[in-house]
Chain A
Amino acid sequence: MPSPAEELKFRDPDKARALTEALEREVEAIGRSPVAVMHVCGSHEQAIARFGLRASFPRKLDVIMGPGCPVCVTDTPEVDEAVALAAQGARVCTYGDMLRLPGTSKSLADAQADGGKVEVVYSVSQAVDLARQRPAEQVVFFASGFETTAVATAATLLAGVPENFSVLSSHKYVPAAMDVVSEMKETNIEGFIAAGHAATITGWGIFEPFARRTGTPVVVAGFEPLDVLAAVVELVRLIRLKRPEVMNCYPRCVTKEGNRAALAKLWQVFDVVGGNWRGIARVPRGNLELKPEWDRVNARHRFRIDTAAVGGAEKNLLADQCICGSIMSGLAKPDQCKLFGKECRPESPVGACMVSSEGACKIWHVYGGHPDLKEVA
């Protein structure tokens, strides 16, 4: 079986070669090093690492994974809320990646080991089914994910849920985080690759005001290796031409307006509010919280959540050395963390980026430390 990288070349070698050469030319023409661009999607990092794409990137180009993992940016106090609800007897349902995400002193996996009722679901619908099957229990859906995932939560509430079902929202809104990162002087990101399927919902038009205001071009990319490569070429070309525009390189799935039906439902249920993103910053308009008219299904209003009872443990010396925040802000690479692959591993994560299949550290760890074929060859 060919390696994924060979497979990439095998699928359409001429196109891949032409794109690689174009990328080299564009980066050379800019005449600076490094030219730094950022993507904000765990699935993009998976594609880049899995298919060995960094080997096709010029040395002078830095393609960085930003805050593109909703699990990784879920803040410690949010995990504490879920752990506290489980400790208080609620049945807490959540997407699998959230299970091992560290809270102040406990993760939901720890809460489960303590006898708490914690369930992994693949869909909010499965959490609603559990609530229907167990009318005597309080079932709380600890909701994570970006706007793509939040629309499913919104549609579920609009379709009607049983009395004993509520939502603890940790949904995040990606465009707000791009604002924050683009304002960090030390990162010097010159262009963004926007996540294909988040843009399926929001449409690519949503990035136009951002591109104009920050002077930073944005390219929407799909997940095929050649999709990603083509998008990077376009992005670097826009940087060279100093054209802060938005280009849609994923027309198979993304339109300018997005999915209007889904957006209408999203904004019927959610408001954007400010919130802390783990390790990064307070992100104005970065969190999606249920609107006040949905208070009756909002776990934060239905229950008195006692996070003090599950937090405030002794100082965690390992966690102090974790550099997840710098990694998600584009200031450091996973293998620059001294815990990477040693104390911090997928089976015993110290930081959030090693927990999720979309976390940069877990992706680099699984696909071989530093997934850059030029350096390992």
Chain B
Amino acid sequence: MCLGVPGKVLSLSSDGLSALVDFFGVKRELRLDIVDEPVKPGDYVLNHVGFAIRRIPPSEVEETLALFDQILKEAGSEDLMAEDVRGEIASGKERDRA
């Protein structure tokens, strides 16, 4: 539950309080209330329970994505890490309901 999931910022809301973020092909709205630094489209952020908790420095994006990529790609039906990652992705708001 504390694993979080990284995603790429696609756009910011007009009030700047939320962002549309792509998580391995799934697009969700994230709140930006507690992110540590300002974010802009193209940045990667770490999502935990629907909130961006950290902007991932560009030099560290690739290494961060590798683990999650691997977990989601090779996960069986009952893989706990994949289950937690999918739960974190589902924590964002679906755009049409945003």
Contacts A43-B2, A97-B1, A252-B60 given; indicate if A259 touches B54 (C-beta within 8 A).
yes
Q: B80 → chain A, closest Cβ, in Å?
A: 4
Q: Is B35 an interface residue (CB 8 A)?
A: yes
Cβ–Cβ < 8 Å partners of B81 in chain A: 43, 46-47, 50
Binary interface encoding of chain B residues 24-67 relative to chain A, with 1 for a CB under 8 A from any of its CBs, else 0: 00000001011110000000001011110110110010011011
Instruction: Report, as a range, how many residues of chain A touch the other chain.
Output: 35 or more
Q: Is B4 an interface residue (CB 8 A)?
A: yes
Question: In the assembly, what is the distance between CA of A358 and CA of B3, in Å?
Answer: 10
Are B50 and A122 touching (Cβ within 8 A)? yes
Q: Is B14 an interface residue (CB 8 A)?
A: no
Question: In the assembly, what is the distance between CA of A252 and CA of B67, in Å?
Answer: 13
Are B80 and A357 touching (Cβ within 8 A)? yes
Binary interface encoding of chain A residues 1-34 relative to chain B, with 1 for a CB under 8 A from any of its CBs, else 0: 1001001000100000000000000000000000
Q: Is A294 an interface residue (CB 8 A)?
A: no
Question: In the assembly, what is the distance between CA of A252 and CA of B54, in Å?
Answer: 10
Cβ–Cβ < 8 Å partners of B4 in chain A: 148, 197
* CB within 8 Å: A-B pair count: 135
Cβ–Cβ < 8 Å partners of B50 in chain A: 122-126, 152
Instruction: Report, as a range, how many residues of chain B touch the other chain.
Output: 35 or more
Are B2 and A146 touching (Cβ within 8 A)? yes
Cβ–Cβ < 8 Å partners of B90 in chain A: 122
User: Which residue in B2, B54, B92 is a CB contact (below 8 Å) of A123?
Assistant: B92
Q: Is A363 an interface residue (CB 8 A)?
A: yes
Contacts A42-B2, A47-B81, A50-B81 given; indicate if A201 touches B49 (C-beta within 8 A).
no
Are A122 and B67 touching (Cβ within 8 A)? no
User: Which residue in B2, B35, B60 is a CB contact (below 8 Å) of A197?
Assistant: B2
Question: In the assembly, what is the distance between CA of A372 and CA of B16, in Å?
Answer: 48
Contacts A200-B53, A362-B80 given; indicate if A122 touches B3 (C-beta within 8 A).
no
Cβ–Cβ < 8 Å partners of A159 in chain B: 17, 31, 33
Question: In the assembly, what is the distance between CA of A7 and CA of B71, in Å?
Answer: 11
Cβ–Cβ < 8 Å partners of B11 in chain A: none
Q: A126 → chain B, closest Cβ, in Å?
A: 7
Are A151 and B87 touching (Cβ within 8 A)? no
Question: In the assembly, what is the distance between CA of A259 and CA of B54, in Å?
Answer: 8
Q: What is the predominant secondary structure among interface residues of chain B facing chain A?
A: mixed
Contacts A122-B91, A200-B54 given; indicate if A158 touches B84 (C-beta within 8 A).
no
Binary interface encoding of chain A residues 91-133 relative to chain B, with 1 for a CB under 8 A from any of its CBs, else 0: 0000111000000000000000000000000111110010000
Q: Is B96 an interface residue (CB 8 A)?
A: no
Question: In the assembly, what is the distance between CA of A71 and CA of B84, in Å?
Answer: 14
Cβ–Cβ < 8 Å partners of B63 in chain A: 224, 252
Q: Is A261 an interface residue (CB 8 A)?
A: yes
Binary interface encoding of chain B residues 63-98 relative to chain A, with 1 for a CB under 8 A from any of its CBs, else 0: 110110010001000111101100110111100010
Residue of A123, A253, A362 with highest tally of chain B CB at under 10 A: A123
Are B1 and A152 touching (Cβ within 8 A)? no
Cβ–Cβ < 8 Å partners of A65 in chain B: none
Cβ–Cβ < 8 Å partners of A198 in chain B: 2
Cβ–Cβ < 8 Å partners of A149 in chain B: 1-2, 48-49
Q: A65 → chain B, closest Cβ, in Å?
A: 13
Are B49 and A145 touching (Cβ within 8 A)? yes
Question: In the assembly, what is the distance between CA of A330 and CA of B54, in Å?
Answer: 31
Question: In the assembly, what is the distance between CA of A50 and CA of B80, in Å?
Answer: 9
Are A122 and B49 touching (Cβ within 8 A)? yes
List the 10 shortest-distance A-B pairs measured between CB atoms, nearest first.
A123-B50, A122-B91, A155-B33, A262-B34, A123-B91, A357-B80, A252-B60, A259-B36, A43-B3, A122-B90
A-B contacts, 20 listed (Cβ < 8 Å):
A43-B81, A43-B84, A46-B81, A71-B1, A122-B90, A123-B51, A123-B93, A145-B2, A145-B49, A148-B53, A151-B53, A152-B31, A152-B50, A197-B46, A200-B53, A201-B53, A253-B54, A262-B36, A358-B1, A367-B80
Interface contacts beyond A122-B87, A125-B93, A224-B66: sample of 17 additional A-B pairs, CB < 8 Å, sorted by A: A43-B81, A46-B3, A122-B91, A123-B51, A124-B49, A148-B2, A148-B53, A149-B1, A149-B2, A151-B34, A197-B53, A223-B67, A224-B67, A259-B35, A262-B53, A366-B79, A366-B80
